[in-house]
């Protein structure tokens, strides 16, 4: 464990004016409070806050942040109180510790609604003082580095939470190194086979080509020396998860992936960045469409750099990033650069952006919504996406996430323009509203009086702002219809568990979802933003309807070892009564597939992972979800009657998603909880016989991964 003298020495190296006595006092207080506590690995618990403090000292953060790291678990896990911390270390540090404690208590892997609500609290805490989030991110990084001592189930839970929330948050705050490490550590837990396959391919590639990184670094250094440019050259192979994500996104094999290796050329000033770019393009052939200028158009988190991909040594494609030392500091430290110290003084970095500005714009935009889900969606969209820069006819720059459409562009200008949008011109040519915009395009939005947003726009839009505005307007326009449909969905769901839907029950559920009234809840139900299953679960979390002769859910499949667990595959949604086969996954037990599932082809060369299983005979509980694709007439009462028809067959509607809304017909996907394949046939037959149903079929999404954590076909 790092000693107090070592920690103080690390801080003093970049901040000679550090308050060493206060850091020593915090170190001693933390050690005293955590005395007798141990981590699951057997180490003294205090090793954790010390390592978190050390991580933050590597970022050259101020004394208050270092001390907060040492004390961040004292109020939560020891007898220490907020008042005691305030008396000993001051209100500023006590408030920071309190903020980290509140973040620690948030469960981001809970139910979707609770997760969204807690994520909003996380973002709100960041807006008050970014140092709270910096400590929490460092805390999560050290926990992920030492996660192997935790039970497997807890590892998966924490890894998924890290992948979905903390890693992208670190990236949005500009701390790309932390994002990459968090993602790779989570990837190692969630998909160890996938990570191992990438590493094996890397080893094979190195044997074939030698040390590519050192060769290309040498080539770049020689090029810079010849041009009398003083530059720092960095090179590395990219993280396994980064490569896996590119393979998945581009649907390319490992051997065809162009940017497995990344190189940086760090120079003194901006002019030299463009000079280096010219030299590299003269020396190697540039790959068309792979140049990005984030110096003239910085990312929203302050990131600046030139990116280019060239055909380097042996025609292997490599990505080169060119930036100044000041830009590099922001690229490495992100939000931490705002608080970084050097020689005892806060560093002034002109490129460092305070993420609280971005967060404030989000919180203001959604302050009146009361909708945690929309806020969560908006934040995730902004955290995950790169940006494109487009121009208005007057030359103003509009920043949008990659994949944005003219609809997003219109709503980015003003909600009124977005709602009245009828078409768009891109670079002078009329294009469909679903067109994906590219960097540098000029966009002209054409509006018409009386135009209203269409439901199909939600799928076209890529920004949380546009999606939120469209949903809000649709709710206003269709509220009465949605309320009626929601009431019918609620009635069917409550009857399925032997309860009657009452105004009091709906009002209680509305409070649980953070809504103002039962009518608001019904409107959300009718618009498929909340499922009837979620409503019932909120009110009756422990209620299970099962007859005494039903097969227990944990005994539904025969052929597994006593210590094996199973999960139905989401791609084929197998039902009792169908032939099935199991595929083993490390960390996920056995995934059960229908025998005709197309996904099974990828495992034909891995027969050791196949498990011969079959369904237990007897009556199964109605807990097996199947998706039905149904097209119905858009008429008064049709939707309600269809829901009633499904409910009369003792099938519970757990989710409903409108895929296409036309003036005369609706196409929707309905998730139905069923007992077995015979009940499915009864539901399909009854729906097909209805005069207002145009088409109905079982829906299987072969693009879904068979499990939540991915599969490896190698």
Task: Determine the distance from the C-alpha atom of residue 385 to the mean position of all C-alpha atoms in its chain, rounded to a whole number.
Answer: 10
Residues 6+ apart with CB under 8 A from 359: 123, 124, 126, 127
Q: Considering 43, 76, 164, 690, which one is annotated as catalytic?
A: 76
Active site residue 293: no
Q: Which of 62, 77, 164, 270 is catalytic?
A: 77
Distance CA 424, CA 376 (A): 29
Q: Give the total residue count for the chain.
A: 714
Q: What angle do CA 265, 266, 268 make, to 5 degrees?
A: 135
Sign of the dihedral defined by the CA atoms of residues 323, 329, 331, 337, in that order: negative
Tell me the pairing of strands 566-568 and 589-594: parallel
**CB under 8 Å to 66, separation ≥6 — which residues?**
7, 11, 23, 26, 53, 56, 57
**Residue-by-residue DSSP string for 213-275:** HHHHHHHHHHHHHHTT---EEEEEEPPHHHHHHHHHHHT--GGG-S-SEEEEEEESSHHHHHH
Q: Is 528 helix (H, G, I), strand (E, B) or coil?
A: coil
Do 669 and 628 touch, CB atoms closer than 8 A?
A: yes
In angstroms, the CA 196 to CA 240 distance is: 9
Phi/psi at 616 (5° precision): -65, 140
686 vs 669: CA distance, rounded Å: 16
**SS3 sequence of 122-139:** HHHHHHHCHHHHHHHHHH
Catalytic: 549? no
Tokens of 646: 């499904």
Alpha carbon of residue 22 to chain centroid: 38
Q: Specify the pairing of strand 345-346 against strand 652-661.
A: unpaired
Are 336 and 387 within 8 A, CB to CB?
no
| Owner of token pair 């934040």 | 379
Q: Please tell me whether residue 374 adopts helix, strand or coil conformation.
A: helix
* H helix or E strand, kind and range, residue 170: helix 167-172
Contact (Cβ atoms closer than 8 angstroms) between residue 97 and residue 74 = yes
Q: How far apart are CA 503 and CA 350, in angstroms?
A: 57
Please answer whether residues 667 and 659 qualify as being in contact, where contact means their C-beta atoms are separated by less than 8 angstroms: yes
Helix, strand, coil percentages for the chain (3-state, nearest 5): 50, 15, 30
* Burial class of 453 by CB neighbour count within 10 A (0 to 12, 13 to 18, 19+): buried
Q: Copy the structure tokens of residue 259.
A: 């940017």
Distances (CA, A) of 182 to 138, 478, 610: 10, 43, 32
Buried b (16+ CB within 10 A) or exposed e, 597-620: bebbeebeeeeebbbebebeeeeb
Cβ(44)–Cβ(38) below 8 Å = yes
End-to-end CA distance of the chain, in Å? 40
For the annotated catalytic residues, the residue numbers are 76-77
């Amino acid at each position: 464990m790092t000693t107090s003298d070592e920690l103080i020495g690390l801080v003093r190296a970049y901040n000679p004016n550090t308050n060493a006595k206060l850091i020593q006092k915090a170190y001693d207080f933390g050690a005293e409070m955590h005395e007798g506590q141990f981590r699951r690995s057997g180490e003294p618990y205090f090793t954790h806050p010390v390592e978190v403090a050390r991580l933050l000292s590597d970022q050259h953060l101020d004394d208050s942040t270092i001390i907060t790291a040492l004390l961040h678990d004292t109020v939560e896990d020891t007898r220490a109180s907020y008042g005691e911390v305030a008396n000993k270390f001051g209100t500023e540090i006590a408030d920071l510790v309190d903020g980290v404690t509140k973040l620690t208590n948030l469960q981001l892997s809970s139910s979707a609604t609770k997760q969204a609500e807690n994520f909003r609290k996380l973002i709100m805490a960041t807006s008050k003082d970014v140092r709270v989030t910096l400590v929490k991110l460092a805390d999560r990084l050290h926990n992920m580095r030492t996660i192997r001592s935790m039970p497997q189930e807890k590892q998966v839970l924490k890894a998924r939470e890290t992948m979905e929330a903390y890693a992208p948050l670190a990236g949005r705050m500009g701390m790309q190194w932390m994002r990459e490490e968090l993602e790779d550590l989570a990837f190692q837990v969630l998909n160890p086979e996938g990570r191992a396959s990438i590493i094996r391919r890397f080893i094979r590639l190195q044997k074939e080509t030698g040390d590519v990184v050192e060769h290309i670094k040498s080539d770049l250094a020689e090029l810079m020396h010849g041009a009398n440019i003083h530059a720092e050259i960095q090179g590395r192979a990219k993280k396994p998860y980064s490569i896996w994500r590119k393979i998945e996104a581009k649907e390319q094999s490992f051997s065809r992936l162009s940017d497995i290796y990344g190189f940086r050329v760090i120079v003194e000033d901006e002019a030299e960045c463009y000079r280096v770019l010219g030299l590299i393009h003269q020396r190697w052939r540039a790959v068309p469409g792979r140049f990005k200028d984030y110096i003239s158009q910085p990312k929203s988190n302050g990131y600046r750099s030139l990116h280019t991909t060239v055909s380097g040594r042996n025609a292997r494609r490599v990505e080169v990033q060119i930036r100044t030392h000041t830009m590099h500091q922001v690229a490495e430290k992100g939000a931490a650069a705002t608080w970084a110290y050097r020689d005892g003084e806060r560093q002034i970095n002109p490129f460092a952006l305070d993420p609280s500005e971005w967060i404030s714009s989000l919180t203001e935009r959604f302050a009146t919504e009361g909708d945690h889900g929309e806020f969560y969606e908006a934040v995730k969209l902004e955290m995950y996406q790169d940006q494109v820069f487009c121009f208005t006819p007057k030359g103003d720059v509009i920043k949008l996430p990659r994949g944005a459409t003219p609809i997003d562009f219109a709503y980015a200008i003003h909600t009124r323009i977005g709602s009245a949008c009828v078409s768009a011109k891109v670079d002078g040519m009329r294009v469909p509203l679903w067109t994906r915009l590219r960097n540098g395009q000029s966009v002209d939005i054409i509006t018409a009086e009386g135009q209203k947003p269409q439901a199909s726009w939600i799928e076209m839009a890529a920004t949380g702002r546009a999606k939120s505005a469209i949903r809000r307007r649709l709710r206003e326009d269709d509220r009465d219809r949605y309320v009626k449909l929601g009431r019918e969905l609620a009635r069917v769901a409550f009857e399925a568990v032997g309860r009657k839907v009452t105004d009091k029950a709906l009002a209680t559920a509305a409070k649980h979802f953070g809504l103002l009234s039962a009518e608001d809840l019904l409107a959300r139900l009718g618009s498929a933003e909340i499922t009837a299953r979620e409503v019932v679960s909120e009110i009756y979390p422990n209620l299970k309807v099962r007859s005494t002769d039903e097969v227990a859910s944990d005994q539904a499949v025969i052929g597994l070892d006593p210590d094996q667990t199973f999960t139905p595959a989401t791609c084929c949604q197998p039902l009792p009564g169908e032939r099935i086969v199991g595929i083993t996954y490390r960390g996920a037990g056995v995934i059960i597939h229908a025998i005709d599932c197309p996904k099974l082809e990828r495992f034909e060369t891995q027969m050791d992972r196949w498990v011969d299983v079959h369904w237990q005979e007897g009556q199964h509980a109605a807990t097996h979800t199947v998706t039905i694709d149904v097209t119905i007439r858009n008429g008064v009462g049709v939707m309600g009657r269809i829901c009633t028809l499904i409910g009369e067959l003792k099938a519970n509607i757990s989710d409903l998603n409108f895929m296409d809304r036309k003036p005369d017909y609706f196409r929707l996907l309905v998730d139905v909880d069923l007992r077995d394949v015979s009940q499915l046939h009864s539901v399909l037959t009854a729906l097909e016989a209805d005069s207002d149903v145009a088409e109905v079929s079982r829906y299987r999404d072969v693009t879904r991964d068979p499990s939540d954590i991915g599969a490896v076909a190698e």
